[in-house]
Amino acid sequence: MKKERFFSVGQLLMWAGCLLAVVMPAAAEARDIKVGIVDTYSGPAAVFGNDALNGFKLAVNEINKQGVLGGKIVFTTRDEQFKVDIGLNVAKELVLKENVDVLVGTINSGASMAISEAVAKKEKIPFIVWTAKSENITGKAGHRYVFSTAENTAMAGKSAAVAFAKKPFKKFWIAGDDYEYGHAIADAIWRNLKKIKPEVEAIGRTWWKPGEPDLIPYLTAIQAAKPDCIIFATGGVSMANVLKAIKTTGMENKIPAWIHTATDHSVLKPLGMNAPEGVMGTIQYHYYYPETPANKKFVADFQAAYGNPPGFPAFNAYTTAQLIAGAYRKAGKIDKEKFIDAMEGLKVDTPVGKVEMRACDHQAVYPMFLGTTKISQEFGGAIAADIITLQGDEVMPTCEEIAEARKQK
Amino acid sequence: MLLVEDLHKSFEDFTAVDGANLQVRQGELVAVIGPNGAGKTTLFNLITGHLKADRGRIRFLDREINRMAAHEICRQGIARSFQIANIFHRLSVFRNVQVSVLSQKKLSRSLFRPAQTLVVEETRRILESVGLLGKQLDIAGSLSHGDKRILEIAIALGNEPQLLILDEPTAGMSPEETASTMELVKRLARDQGLTILFCEHDMDVVFDVATHIMVMQHGRTLIQGTPEEVRRNATVQDAYLGGA
Amino acid sequence: MTRSLILSRSSFGWSAALLLVLLLVPAWAGRFTIYILAFVFVMALLAMSLNLLVGHGGIYQFHHAAFYGVGAYTAGLIAAKTAWPVWVGFCAGPLMAAAAGWVIGLFCVRLNKLYFGMLQISLGSLIWIIALRWYSLTAGDDGIHGIRMPELLSGSVTIYYFLLAVVTVCLLSLYLVYKSPFGVTLRAIRDNPQRCEAVGINVRRHQLLAIIIATFFAGVAGVLFVVLEGSIFPDMLFWVLSLEILIMCLLGGWFTFFGPVVGAAIMVTLRTFVGSVTEYWTMVLGIVLILLIFFLPEGIMGINFRNWSRRRSRRAAARAAEDTDAAG
Amino acid sequence: MESYVTVSGLISQFLVGLSRAMILFIVSSGLSFILGVLRVPNVAHGSLYMIGAFVAHTLAMAAGGGAAGFWLALVLAPTAVALISLAAERLLFCHLYEREHLMLLLFTFALALILGDLTKITWGADYRSLVAPPFLQGSVMVLGTPFPRYNLFLLAVGPVVALGLWLFSNKTKVGKIARAAAVDREMVGAIGINVGRVFAFAFVLGCFLAGLGGALVSPTVSITLGMDHTIIIEAFLIVTIGGLGNMWGALAGSLIFGVSQSMGILLWPQFAIVFPYLAVVIILTLKPTGLLKSVW
């Protein structure tokens, strides 16, 4: 009986949307290798996303000078805004529409694992995680199509444990961000430390909200308990807040503290000369160490291209690009399965020496550097000093452990 | 039918109703008059449950209704209109009335029947009785002010009330509209046997229509009686009608 | 009732045509189109369920995503952690969402407008915190990924048709609700709750019923997300997503029935296609929104009616409005 | 829980909660002011707070990074934010006041999206850190526990701002008009006052407070993108529990929020995050329109 109303403009738009989706060109140039990058380029984590992207660009520019299998490496980026659902959207877009050959990214562990399952595994496309640090990615949730060129919580934890075992500490206090990363790293340290040195003792644990601005009261309480060493299992913005609080409470040089990636310059640089000294940190890359020609060249090129020295995400991304190029050269053709076979056990040159992609769990094997913060006039702020190198196989979970974890799942 | 005894209501810093008494019998047309701020609207809001009295009793058909919520009081058979046009602006005229008929028939929570097939006859009959049938498909918000006020009465009629409370039904109307509205009120009372309680500023209208009048001042009942009794009362003469 | 009585002939025609096109899409569209359309279906259902409250009920449900998350987590956890058939989860998801909606609604319906919204955000955030903090159950902020679906729902085309079917049924049910006496009463409550009380309507009970219905469908959307992506994660219950779906409703036209579908389609399309060109797509969205506010205050579907009323007689406009109660 | 709860720990945690509450108060009082006078839920408030922090950093660095730079930034950053908001108000916002609340919400959301991206374009993604002037660095002993000087400074600033706002809205003509407009805007318009100008003024003042909050918080946290997200939801919850548009309500709400958060951390760290939300639920369940009288 009635009414023709509610469609027309709205419907047209919907149709237009559908059409747009379909008409978009989908063909890929077979000669070039297409890399799809999913990472965070907005919000607080964007600083790491941008750094990684710069490292990747630098490597790709070098690689493309000679080319790979007669073609080039081309890449396209998508911002996942640190959100899992957007990450899935854009990863699928890159794979299903842009037909990328390799997917890389992201800093968000949740998004990495979601993409690993819903895109990499399902679409049989290699996915290389380059910043997210969850050990589950190549651990119990690992599979043929997922790789990691990021150091993970298991490695960070084990390297700290190995380092602590060499020091006279007995009474530890564990504090950190109350989220997955914090707990994972704390568990990894304690698991390994107990194994190496059973007499150690955790006299207390404190967890705070990630990004908690004011950490002074916690540190005061911890100080009162007089531990031999404090383990801070924290990341991102909280790291800078911990360092600020260490400085303010006057804890520096009194109680040794350890934070994974505390010696990263994206953390230390904003603090300038106000960074605390004597804080231990583990990290797989410093732009000032090791002072090898390869590293010096990498830093100089990076500095020239982007105006600031590379951080660990840039190093990870640079390594990732080298691995991709190396694997395709080894495979001899652009084929996903061949690429994966070639990746397994592949060794490439990086600024810190040879890095191997371990075949059993698809985890890049890095040496880890344990350093202690020290103010340097030359750098205008704190840097890592007294650096101890822990070899990759020393800090990695063994292949047997990985197999066991995967079986449990 | 309706009995209000010694009703009190105060807001933070002033007392709006301070000892109101009112009696409405079946079939009467009772007007409440009084100067601005005498507490007429508050009294109505108390009766219909939109406000809760501090003290006093309200009985309707031998039932205490003081403690009831507005929608429960409505179910007892009291419907009302408001001082400002209180209608559903975005809905059509038909829907405006249908909503209240649906509510009366306890159909308003029915989920799986199309509304456009329900209570159509009842709704039309009400619209016809107030003369809005011709505009039933107009959007209520686009009606003229006079029509909005009529629509309000029509919404109230949808509840098949025994007592209809009208809060200044002719406020803001032109003299012609006022006349026709009051004609409508009288006709409703006559044809449908409705008991009507209303308040009104226009004394000519009041004395023309009402069978009984209650005079309020400072929240108190001064007097209640027939128009003649009220006209004769000296207190009212002084306090209120003196100037008129 | 015959169908033509419920759906007017022309809107039935349009809907049938759209449905037909959507049915045919997998025959010629690329895989990504199929996927993103399926994603639009999920968002559209979510936005539609919210709009029952915001657009038709005038209820400021500011944290609707919480119930989407409850539906998804219920279905996802049952699929991932129990041996029960996934269908149990599919049924339990919406029911749990509706139950959560009922409990939270009980607290909230006593409040008005912004107060309602803020209390609702707080209560919804408590659910979010459970998803975020109950590590042993929900795996915390990493979420659970790679949730296996039965063979029946493995191919992307099958998933597409499954989602299309479920969303169509849900939208049809919502349309019935919308056209029902309850729908009419709900819109009356939106326009004037005080008047509704005066005609004997228990406003709070109606609002609560609307919340239960809306959260049920939000739960369905959550289940569909799990079917589509095989993932659950705490962001699904975060208030930012709630704000996004609210924007979808406003963008599409919150006083119309199909508005939120359009809004969801535009948001997802914009995000996907502008997002692939520039990382500043949120700014583009912001500018689009401002233009919309200035030039299309009733949302995209709202424009229709205004044009219509200029072209046709007032009566025809009103008849159209009668159908949707969309007039301004 | 395993944290060491001691009396001095409780006290210092309480003080930390108080100083956090001061920042929350400054930001949410601005939000509340705009809500009260303009009836606008300003989602962009968080973005202005973030911009306040970034501008403060830039100004302090430009002035050499010393104490003078800090004080300069503290004055000029909120002013810059106020100017941005003035532009937004005069160009766009002032045409929309008669729209529905949800539309205004949508508008401020759009503004927040644009400001967020503009911040990213202008300042990039790097973390920034502002240093407090030397005499506000370090700690003093309060009842046996070290308490940061800067937090003491915040404890002093909060009441000053509250007092200033009170004097403004009760002792100045513009303030009185704004208050009257909050209650009955038609009447204010009817007696011949330019309501548009009052609204513009109120909006700019509210945004100034957002900028001030951002500048004040910058020495205690890392200045990053995404700062806007966390603060805005907290500020909205605060003004709601306090009573929409009520400045003292914003103060009460901030205190409840700040203290419940910091005490919660001490008592039940694992679930400290629930305490503020729980406070909102309890308060709104008991008092559905907030603690103090709402102007709505």
Same domain, A259 and A349: no
Q: What is the C-alpha separation between A59 and D146, in angstroms, rounded?
A: 49
D109, closest residue in chain C (CA to CA): C286
> How close, in Å, is residue C108 to chain D by CA atoms?
8
D274, closest residue in chain C (CA to CA): C126
C269, closest residue in chain A (CA to CA): A17
Same domain, A273 and A300: no
**Structural tokens at position D157:** 């600033």
Residues of C in contact with D285 (CB under 8 A): 107, 119
- What average pLDDT score do residues B171-185 get? 84
Same domain, A167 and A273: yes
Interface probe with C: pick from A2, A5, A124, most Cβ of C within 10 Å = A5
> How close, in Å, is residue A237 to chain D by CA atoms?
7
Q: Does A171 lie at the interface with D, CB-CB under 8 angstroms?
A: no
Segment among B28-32, B202-206, D264-268 with least mean pLDDT: D264-268
> Of C110, C123, C247, which has the smallest distance from its Cβ to D109's Cβ?
C247
Q: What is the C-alpha separation between A97 and A101, in angstroms, rounded?
A: 12
Same domain, A125 and A182: no
Residues of C in contact with D103 (CB under 8 A): 250, 293, 297
Q: What is the C-alpha separation between B164 and A281, in angstroms, rounded?
A: 80
Q: Which residues, listed in sequence order, are joined to residue A390 by a DSSP beta bridge?
A: A368
The residues near A67 (Cβ < 8 Å, ≥ 6 apart) are none
> How close, in Å, is residue C281 to chain D by CA atoms?
9
Residues of D in contact with A43 (CB under 8 A): 224-226, 229
Contact between chains at C297 and D111 (C-beta distance less than 8 A): no
A39, closest residue in chain C (CA to CA): C279
Contact between chains at C259 and A1 (C-beta distance less than 8 A): no
Q: What is the C-alpha separation between A236 and A386, in angstroms, rounded?
A: 24
Percent pLDDT > 70 in chain C is 89
Same domain, A390 and A273: yes
| Domain assignments of chain B as residue spans, ordered by start | 1-77+161-244, 87-160
Over residues C101-134, the pLDDT tens digits come to: 999 999 899 888 788 988 898 899 889 988 888 8
Residue D3 has pLDDT above 90, yes or no: no
Residue B228 has pLDDT above 50, yes or no: yes
Over residues B134-153, the pLDDT tens digits come to: 888 888 888 888 888 889 88
Contact between chains at A217 and D129 (C-beta distance less than 8 A): no
Contact between chains at A44 and D225 (C-beta distance less than 8 A): yes
Confidence of residue D47 (pLDDT cuts 50, 70, 90): very high
Contact between chains at D270 and A178 (C-beta distance less than 8 A): yes
Contact between chains at D288 and C110 (C-beta distance less than 8 A): yes
Q: Does A207 lie at the interface with D, CB-CB under 8 angstroms?
A: yes
Same domain, A207 and A166: yes
> Of D148, D222, D227, which has the smallest distance from its Cβ to A240's Cβ?
D222
| Inter-chain Cβ pairs, chain A and chain C, closer than 8 A | 186
Decide: residue D65, CB within 10 A, 0-12 exposed, 13-18 middle, 19+ buried: middle
C44, closest residue in chain A (CA to CA): A14
Q: What is the pLDDT of residue A409?
A: 59
**A338 lies in which domain range?**
33-151+291-366
Q: What is the SS3 string spanning chain B?
A: CEEEEEEEEECCCCEEEEEEEEEECCCCEEEEECCCCCCHHHHHHHHCCCCCCCEEEEEECCEECCCCCHHHHHHCCEEECCCCCCCCCCCEHHHHHHHHHHHHCCCCCCCCCCHHHCCHHHHHHHHHHHCCHHHCCCEHHHCCHHHHHHHHHHHHHCCCCCEEEEECCCCCCCHHHHHHHHHHHHHHHHHHCCEEEEECCCHHHHHHHCCEEEEEECCEEEEEECHHHHHHCHHHHHHHHCCC
Residue A81 has pLDDT above 70, yes or no: yes
Q: Which residues, listed in sequence order, are joined to residue A38 by a DSSP beta bridge?
A: A78, A105
Confidence of residue C142 (pLDDT cuts 50, 70, 90): confident
Q: What is the C-alpha separation between A8 and C259, in angstroms, rounded?
A: 12
Tokens 């720990």 sit on residue:
D9
Residue pair A387/A360 in contact (Cβ under 8 Å)? The answer is no
Other beta carbons within 10 angstroms of residue B50's beta carbon come to 18
Q: What is the pLDDT of residue B169?
A: 82
Sign of the CA dihedral with B47 first, then B50, B55, and B60 last? positive
Over residues A252-306, the pLDDT tens digits come to: 778 889 998 888 887 888 888 888 888 998 888 888 888 889 999 999 999 999 9
Q: What is the pLDDT of residue A213?
A: 67
> How close, in Å, is residue D106 to chain C by CA atoms?
7
Same domain, A221 and A274: yes
Q: Does B103 lie at the interface with C, CB-CB under 8 angstroms?
A: yes
**Structural tokens at position B60:** 């309707």
Cα of first residue to Cα of last residue in chain A, in angstroms, is: 60
Task: Give the global pTM.
Answer: 0.87
Backbone angles phi, psi at A349, to 5 degrees: -85, 135
Residue pair D191/D58 in contact (Cβ under 8 Å)? The answer is no
Same domain, A122 and A248: no
B114, closest residue in chain C (CA to CA): C180
Confidence of residue D280 (pLDDT cuts 50, 70, 90): confident
Q: Does A180 lie at the interface with D, CB-CB under 8 angstroms?
A: no
> How close, in Å, is residue B167 to chain C by CA atoms?
13
Q: What is the pLDDT of residue D138?
A: 74
A206, closest residue in chain D (CA to CA): D3
Q: What is the C-alpha separation between D207 and A194, in angstroms, rounded?
A: 53
Q: What is the pLDDT of residue A27?
A: 39
Q: What is the C-alpha separation between C249 and B221, in angstroms, rounded?
A: 52
> How close, in Å, is residue C55 to chain A by CA atoms?
15
Backbone angles phi, psi at B39, to 5 degrees: 105, 15
Element (H, E) at D44: none
Residue C305 has pLDDT above 60, yes or no: no
Over residues D118-158, the pLDDT tens digits come to: 999 999 888 888 888 888 877 777 776 777 788 889 999 99
Tokens 């005061």 sit on residue:
A220
A12, closest residue in chain C (CA to CA): C262
A117, closest residue in chain C (CA to CA): C146
A126 belongs to a structural domain:
yes
A146 belongs to a structural domain:
yes
D contact chains, 3+ CB pairs < 8 A: A, C
Tell which residue, A195, A163, A182, has the closest CA to residue A395: A163
**Structural tokens at position A205:** 């644990």
Contact between chains at A267 and D226 (C-beta distance less than 8 A): no
Over residues D217-241, the pLDDT tens digits come to: 888 877 888 888 888 888 988 988 8
Contact between chains at A9 and C301 (C-beta distance less than 8 A): yes
A contact chains, 3+ CB pairs < 8 A: C, D
Contact between chains at B109 and C185 (C-beta distance less than 8 A): yes
Task: Identify the three-state secondary structure at position A144.
Answer: coil
Residue C327 has pLDDT above 70, yes or no: no
Residue A7 has pLDDT above 50, yes or no: no
**Structural tokens at position C297:** 């205050």
Q: Which residues, listed in sequence order, are joined to residue B68 by a DSSP beta bridge?
A: none
Task: Identify the three-state secondary structure at position A205.
Answer: strand
Q: Does D24 lie at the interface with A, CB-CB under 8 angstroms?
A: no
Residue D71 has pLDDT above 60, yes or no: yes
Residues of A in contact with D116 (CB under 8 A): 42
Confidence of residue C292 (pLDDT cuts 50, 70, 90): confident
More confident residue, A216 or B87: B87
Confidence of residue D82 (pLDDT cuts 50, 70, 90): very high
> Of A15, A79, A180, which has the smallest distance from its Cβ to C142's Cβ?
A180
Interface probe with A: pick from C11, C15, C23, C32, most Cβ of A within 10 Å = C32
Same domain, A51 and A167: no
Tell which residue, C56, C70, C72, has the closest CA to residue C102: C70
Q: What is the C-alpha separation between D181 and D195, in angstroms, rounded?
A: 8
Residue range B1-77+161-244 in CATH 3.90.1150.10: no
Residue pair B92/B139 in contact (Cβ under 8 Å)? The answer is yes
Query: Beta A364-365 vs A368-376: how paired, if at all?
Result: unpaired
**Structural tokens at position A52:** 């990684």
Q: What is the DSSP letter of C108?
A: H
Contact between chains at C133 and D289 (C-beta distance less than 8 A): no
> Of C279, C304, C319, which has the smallest distance from its Cβ to A79's Cβ?
C279
The residues near C131 (Cβ < 8 Å, ≥ 6 apart) are C69, C73, C138, C234, C236, C237
List residues of C whose CB lies inside 8 A of any B CB: 1, 5-6, 176-177, 179-185, 187-188, 190-192, 194-203, 205-206, 209, 213, 255, 314-315, 318-319, 321-322, 325-328
Same domain, A204 and A236: yes
| Inter-chain Cβ pairs, chain C and chain D, closer than 8 A | 111
> How close, in Å, is residue B82 to chain C by CA atoms?
8
Q: What is the C-alpha separation between A188 and A33, in angstroms, rounded?
A: 37
Over residues C215-242, the pLDDT tens digits come to: 999 999 999 999 999 999 998 999 889 9
C200, closest residue in chain B (CA to CA): B71
- Cis peptide leading into A168, omega within 30 of 0? no
Contact between chains at B114 and C180 (C-beta distance less than 8 A): yes
Q: What is the pLDDT of residue C100?
A: 96
Contact between chains at D145 and A204 (C-beta distance less than 8 A): no
Same domain, A259 and A391: yes
Q: What is the pLDDT of residue A26?
A: 40
- What average pLDDT score do residues D246-262 get? 88
Confidence of residue D296 (pLDDT cuts 50, 70, 90): low
Same domain, A268 and A307: no
Percent pLDDT > 90 in chain A is 32
Q: What is the pLDDT of residue A388?
A: 86
A22 belongs to a structural domain:
no
Residue C315 has pLDDT above 70, yes or no: no
Structural domain tally of chain A? 2
B76, closest residue in chain C (CA to CA): C200
Contact between chains at C283 and D113 (C-beta distance less than 8 A): yes
| Domain assignments of chain C as residue spans, ordered by start | 32-265
Contact between chains at C119 and D270 (C-beta distance less than 8 A): no
